[in-house]
């Protein structure tokens, strides 16, 4: 019987997170996944303040690690995995340096994980999602369509040329006085709105790729907000319109990506994984589910706690790389953080 147990660390934005994930013959198990959200610390500023974030990571990371290890029953560990980017550099350095020190103290190998790769594989924490699959990653920092062919084998089919989807939700919510983070507030406000009342622009019409753009929508929404939004109903109508416009764009590009994916592979019923914090939006999910069904894909969304930033997905990405390279892989001193290295 084989078993691998990995400590994961995530600190690239405004969440400090530590998790322990094990894979054995019975499957993949999240033994613990603890998160300290800094949302309250950044709220007054209407967005994440990098210095406050970095200092908060320093303050909390050791306690979180202790807690994650205790909750997992102080397991024997085989590997440490930490986010090595992209993200706010101050936070990334805190998590990575902590991971290096921990790996040194315990004489464990260490692997640096690309944060997006964590999101890309997160669906495999709770379900046996087979490669290749199509991924729509929609978070506060990212908006991408990827063909996930295997561990470490990703083809980007489309990305945003300006804002991420969550960023669009947050910025438009801010203009409408809905507070931070704006995505959930905007979704709630949209419930009683009429999406057809305001005319909003369709982005990148005529382009045949899978790229996204939300800045035109943001500008249009801001203009309407200042000129025409006076009552609660006006605000609800604009929220509903904005949400529908974002949904329409995500649907159009996903539809195109599904057709591209189909041309490249012959798998039957491939998975369409929707990950990232914005995947929490139920209206978007419904629209994307319909698109997936139309194209013969099966929509899979990781549970919300693994959709938003967390360390279990980082531990899993480390685990999958370690499995692929073979336990006890030798240090690669040339590429350093991108492969498994002994401290
Ligand atoms: O994945 P995540 O926790 O952090 C990043 O890696 O960015 O995503 C956070 C983003 C925020 O922009 C937030 O407003 C958005 O996800 N979000 C939502 C909803 N819940 C969270 N956007 C739309 N509707 C929601 N229900
Ligand atoms: Zn993220």
Residues with CB under 5 A from ligand 2 (ion): 139, 309
On whether 187 is known to bind a ligand per the annotation, the reply is: yes
Instruction: Tokens for 262, please give them.
Output: 């189909």
Note whether 170 and 140 are within 8 A (CB). Answer: yes
Note whether 79 and 342 are within 8 A (CB). Answer: no
Q: Where in the chain is the domain with CATH 3.30.420.40?
A: 3-126+306-338, 133-301
CA atoms of 10 and 313, how far apart (whole Å): 9
* CATH number at 3-126+306-338: 3.30.420.40
DSSP for 278-310, written as a single string: GGG-HHHHHHHHHHHHHTT-EEE---HHHHSS-
- Say how many Å lie between the CA of residue 229 and the centre of ligand 2: 32
Q: What is the pLDDT of residues 268-286, one digit of tens each?
A: 999 999 999 999 999 999 9
DSSP for 203-230, written as a single string: TTTT--S--B--HHHHHHHHHHHHHH--
| Ligand 1 nearest-atom number relative to CA 166 | 12
Predicted ipTM beyond 0.85: yes
On whether 101 is known to bind a ligand per the annotation, the reply is: no
Q: Which one of 15, 53, 166 would you pick to mutate in the ligand 1 pocket, going by the greatest count of ligand atoms within 8 A of its CB?
A: 166
| Ligand 1 nearest-atom number relative to CA 140 | 7
Q: Which one of 139, 275, 301 would you pick to mutate in the ligand 1 pocket, going by the greatest count of ligand atoms within 8 A of its CB?
A: 139
- Say how many Å lie between the CA of residue 95 and the centre of ligand 2: 15
- From the CA of 168, the nearest ligand is 1
Its CATH class, for the domain covering 133-301, is alpha beta
Q: What is the pLDDT of residues 161-194, one digit of tens each?
A: 999 999 999 999 999 999 888 999 999 999 999 9
Q: What is the pLDDT of residues 67-114, one digit of tens each?
A: 999 999 999 999 999 999 888 999 999 999 999 999 999 999 999 999
pTM: 0.90
On whether 321 is known to bind a ligand per the annotation, the reply is: no
């Amino acid at each position: 019987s084989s078993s691998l147990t990995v400590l994961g660390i995530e600190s690239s934005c405004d969440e400090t997170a530590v998790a322990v994930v094990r894979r054995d013959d019975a499957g993949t198990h999240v033994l613990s996944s603890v998160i300290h959200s800094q949302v309250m610390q950044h709220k007054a500023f209407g967005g994440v303040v990098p210095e406050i974030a970095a200092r908060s990571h320093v303050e909390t990371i050791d306690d979180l690690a202790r807690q994650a290890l205790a909750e997992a029953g102080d397991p024997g560990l085989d590997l440490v995995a930490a986010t090595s980017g992209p993200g706010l550099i101050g936070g990334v350095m805190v998590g990575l340096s902590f991971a290096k020190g921990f790996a040194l103290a315990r004489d464990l190998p260490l692997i640096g994980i690309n944060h997006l790769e964590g999101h890309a594989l997160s669906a495999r924490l709770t379900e046996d999602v087979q490669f290749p699959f199509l991924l729509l990653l929609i978070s506060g920092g990212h908006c991408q369509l990827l063909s996930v062919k295997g561990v470490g084998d990703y083809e980007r089919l489309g990305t945003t040329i300006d804002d991420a989807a969550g960023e669009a939700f947050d910025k438009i919510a801010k203009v409408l006085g809905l507070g931070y983070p704006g995505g959930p507030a905007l979704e709630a406000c949209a419930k009683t709105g009429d999406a057809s009342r305001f005319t909003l622009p369709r982005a990148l019409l005529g382009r045949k790729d899978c790229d996204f753009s939300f800045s035109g929508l943001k500008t249009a929404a801001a203009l309407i907000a200042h000129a025409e939004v006076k009552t609660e109903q006006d605000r609800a109508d604009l929220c509903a319109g904005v949400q529908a416009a974002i949904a329409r764009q995500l649907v159009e590009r996903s539809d195109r990506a599904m057709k591209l994916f189909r041309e490249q592979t012959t798998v039957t019923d491939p998975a369409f994984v929707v990950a990232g914090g914005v995947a929490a939006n139920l209206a978007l999910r419904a629209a994307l589910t319909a698109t997936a069904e139309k194209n013969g894909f099966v929509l899979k969304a990781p549970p919300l706690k693994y959709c938003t930033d967390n360390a279990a997905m980082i531990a899993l990405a480390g685990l999958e790389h370690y499995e692929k390279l073979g336990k006890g892989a030798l240090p690669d001193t040339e590429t350093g953080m991108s492969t498994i290295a002994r401290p």
